[in-house]
Amino acid sequence: MSLFDFFFPKKPASASIAKERLQIVLAHERADRDRPDFLPRLQKELLAVVTKYVAVEEDMIRVSLGKAGNASVLEINVEVPHTAITGPARAVPA
């Protein structure tokens, strides 16, 4: 590295920044595109059922559809806070 380069570092070309940003945003959008539209509804209904028994927030339930080999995998993750189980029992609406 010459002394000149040291004092005047080259900025990365804006075209390569553009490419990188596009690749990231499009990867997300393409994943969303293939999502069946019942997933948000499923997530809402699951949340309604789970909150009857444990206090969970909306963002603690994640529903996703993935692929494993030839099969599609419906993955449901429910994050249960420690206090929701050990804490005082909540009134459960009938």
Which positions touch other proteins (CB under 8 A)? 13-16, 18-19, 21-23, 25-26, 29-30, 33
| Cα separation values, 7 from 2, 4, 11, 12, Å | 9, 5, 12, 15
Cβ distance to other proteins smaller for residue 11 or 82? 11
Q: How far is the CB of 32 from other proteins (least distance, A)?
A: 10
Q: How far is the CB of 35 from other proteins (least distance, A)?
A: 12
Give the residue from 42, 30, 32, 28 showing the smallest Cα distance to 74.
42
User: Could you give the CA distance from residue 17 to residue 31 in angstroms, rounded to a whole number?
Assistant: 22
Cβ distance to other proteins smaller for residue 33 or 82? 33
